Amino acid sequence: MRIVIVDDEPLARARLAALLRECEGAEVVASVGDGEAALAACAETRPDLLLLDIAMPGLDGIDTARRLAVLPDSPQLVFCTAYEQHALEAYELRAADYLLKPVRIERLREALVRAQALRQRRPPPVATLLAQVHGAPVRIPLAEVLYLSADEKYVTVHRAAGEVLVEQSLKAIEAMFPERFVRVHRGCLIPVERLLGLRRDPDGTVHALIAGSDAAPEISRRNLAAVRKLLRGG
C-alpha cells in the first residue's frame, strides 16, 4: 500500500514512518507538512492512503480531505490527530479510520487493513467536479459537462441542466483530467468527446463546435494547432 504521511510536526511524521516500517506491505511514498503539499504529493505519487493530521496551519486536514474527495480515484484517508472532537466530521468524509496520537502500532495495522479492504470494495470511480448549488456541495459527472468557462473569479460548468459554479480553477481541472479536456483559450475547456469541429468566420476568427450546445467558443491562436491535431486524431 502506497502511503503519504501528512503532519506539520516533523517528529510525528518520523514516528509514523518508523511504525509503518513495521507494517507489512506499507510503503511511504511522501512525507509532507501541510495540506497544500499533500495535494501536490497526491498528484505526483497517486497514493493508496493518506495518514492525515487535522490541526495544521493553512489548509487543515478536513479541508484537505474535501479537496481530495473530488478526484476520480481519491486515496483512502486515515486521520491521525490529538483531538477527539473531529471524529464525526472525519467519518462523514468517509475516512477509513480515526487514530488518536500517540498512534499505537496495533491500531495503525488495523487501520491499514481497513483502508485496504475499503479500497478493494470501491466501485470503479465516476469522474466528477464538485460544484455549489444553492450553497450545498453537489458532484457533477464529467459526462454532463458541455464546456467550462472562467472569468476573473469563478469557473462555470455549462451543462444541459443549467450552469453551476465550481471552486477549482481551469488549470487544476485540466491537471486532474488531462485526457478529458482540451483548452481552446485561457478561459475555456471543452470535453474532448464533445469537440465536433471548427468554424471559421469571415474575419478569420476560429470557433469550436460543441456537441449538445449552441455555444461556439473562440479558439485562440496559441491553442489552435493543438485543437486541430486533436480533431485529426493526433
128-231: CATH superfamily = LytTr DNA-binding domain (2.40.50.1020)
Q: What is the pLDDT of residue 125?
A: 63
Mean pLDDT along residues 4-16: 97
> Residue 174 in 3-state DSSP?
helix
More confident residue, 130 or 221: 221
Q: What is the pLDDT of residue 121?
A: 82
Q: What is the pLDDT of residue 83?
A: 86
Domain locations in the chain as residue ranges: 2-121, 128-231
- Cite the DSSP H helix spans in 46-104: 61-68, 87-92
Q: What is the CATH number of domain 2-121?
A: 3.40.50.2300
Mean pLDDT along residues 8-34: 97
Task: Categorize the per-residue pLDDT at 213 as very low, low, confident or very high, splitting at 50, 70 and 90.
Answer: very high
Residue 65 phi/psi, 5-degree rounding, is -60, -40
Please choose, from the candidates 74, 70, 86, 80, the residue with its C-alpha nearest in 3D space to the C-alpha of residue 31: 80
> For the chain, what is the mean pLDDT?
91
Q: What is the pLDDT of residue 151?
A: 85
Residue with cell 499505537: 104
pLDDT digits (tens, 9 = 90+) for 99-156: 999 999 999 999 999 999 998 887 666 788 888 777 777 889 999 999 999 987 789 9
CB atoms < 10 A from the CB of 202, how many? 5
Q: What is the pLDDT of residue 134?
A: 76
pLDDT digits (tens, 9 = 90+) for 61-104: 999 998 888 676 789 999 999 988 888 888 788 899 999 999 99
Q: What is the pLDDT of residue 124?
A: 63
pLDDT digits (tens, 9 = 90+) for 150-181: 987 789 999 999 999 998 889 989 988 888 99
Provide the whole-model pTM.
0.56
Q: What is the pLDDT of residue 74?
A: 85
Q: How distant, in Å, are the alpha carbons of 88, 146, 208 from that of 214?
A: 45, 10, 10
How many angstroms separate the CA atoms of 27 and 45, rounded?
A: 12
Task: Categorize the per-residue pLDDT at 211 as very low, low, confident or very high, splitting at 50, 70 and 90.
Answer: very high
Whether the predicted pLDDT of 16 surpasses 90: yes
